[in-house]
Amino acid sequence: MATIAHPTPLASRWAQFYALTKPRVVQLIVFCALIGMLLAEPGWPDLALAGAATVGIWLVAGAAAAFNCLIEEQIDRKMARTAWRPTARGELTRTQTLVFSGLLCAAGSAVLWFWVNPLTMWLTFATFVGYAVVYTVVLKPLTPQNIVIGGASGAMPPVLGWAAMRNEVGPEAIVLCLIIFLWTPPHFWALALYRTEDYRRAGLPMLPVTHGPEFTRLQVLLYTLVLFAGTLLPFIIGMSGLLYLAAAAVLGGMFIVYAWQLWRDYSDALARKTFRFSIWHLSLLFAALLLDHYLGPWLHRLWA
């Protein structure tokens, strides 16, 4: 008996396309870009400009994520963490995914060009190329340093936000970029430690696969120490005050404790906790920087 193919409901199809944009990852990207926008101005920024920049950056980031799903379709099928993606499950064709990514990138670039400024558009497009092409196509399958080198594109959101408001890239934006750049290796390697077999099956040369878990755990600890030093730079250059410094010290100390425990007494459960904490670390660190930006002058006058 012949079976009748039922078309995918429209709501489900939109959910599949939305899943391609990796919403949780993009939310963190947009959050970091928004921090850059807010810190770029002494007071409240132009809300219309900030809104347009947020939409444009979100669209291009979503396009990069969808393109990543397209390129890694075969790899995603081999990994438990990514096997659910619509491209890996065959729910969306390669043509549909490519067109969707292209439309998002074009729409986001247009928003940034016409309603923000060309500098932000070009920087955002360069970030798209860095992540979707340089990292995904070239670095990720070739070198265990993929996360370190490719982290440069992932560290760009605060620079994009800063450029959107100022139409330039200042040293403060570079410091924010550096913090994310240093944060990326311990963040991803904590994940890779408890997903090592996934990466091995997929044939990806992640650090735990090529150099072993002990070496990777040491690298997590060392990068966490360097990251702690990097998070002090906003205070050192006068970008922030004591409120941020206290938060950076506490959050950095907690991250170091997690990394130390991971190095000394490894377990998959601890690696998962370290990975989850790393997300909270970056989010709370930038939130503290934002609070210091707005409340710092008021607290200084209060204590003076």
What is the CA 254 to chain-centroid distance, rounded? 21
Looking at the predicted structure, is the pLDDT value of residue 1 above 50? no
What is the residue range of 131's domain? 15-168
- Based on the fold, state whether residues 284 and 178 are members of the same structural domain: yes
Q: Identify which has the larger pLDDT, 211 or 76.
A: 211
In the chain, % of residues over pLDDT 70: 93
Cβ-count burial of 47 within 10 angstroms (0-12 exposed, 13-18 middle, 19+ buried)?
exposed
Lowest mean pLDDT among 5-14, 236-245, 281-290: 5-14
The reply to whether 193 and 143 lie within a common domain is no
pLDDT at 303: 59
Is a pLDDT exceeding 60 seen at residue 304? no
Between CA 252 and CA 247 the distance in angstroms is: 8
In a domain, residue 4? The reply is: no
In a domain, 5, yes or no: no
Which residue has 């450029």 as its token pair? Answer: 163
Query: Do 20 and 158 fall within a single domain?
Result: yes
Q: Judge if 141 and 268 occupy the same domain.
A: no
Residue 5 has pLDDT above 80, yes or no: no
Kindly state whether residue 261 falls inside one of the protein's structural domains. yes
Annotate 155-192 with DSSP letters as a single string: T-HHHHHHHHHHSS--HHHHHHHHHHHHHHHHHHHHHH
Each residue's pLDDT tens digit, 62-72: 999 999 898 88
Please give the tally of structural domains in the chain: 2
Same domain, 25 and 110: yes
d(CA 71, CA 76): 9
More confident of the two residues 142 and 277: 277
Q: What average pLDDT does the segment 93-110 reach? A: 94
| Mean pLDDT, residues 183-210 taken together | 90
Q: 231 and 251 share a domain?
A: yes
**Residue 289 falls within a domain, yes or no?**
yes
The pLDDT, as a whole number, for residue 7 is: 46
Q: What's the pTM value of the predicted model, to 2 decimals? A: 0.89
Reported as a single tens digit per residue, the pLDDT across 115-138 is 999 999 999 999 999 888 888 787
Tell me the C-alpha distance between 275 and 81, whole Å: 14
Among candidate residues 152, 168, 184, the one where a domain is terminated: 168
6 lies in a domain? no
- CATH number for the domain spanning 129: value is 1.10.357.140
Helix (H) or strand (E) holding 289: helix 268-303
Q: Are residues 178 and 152 in the same domain?
A: no
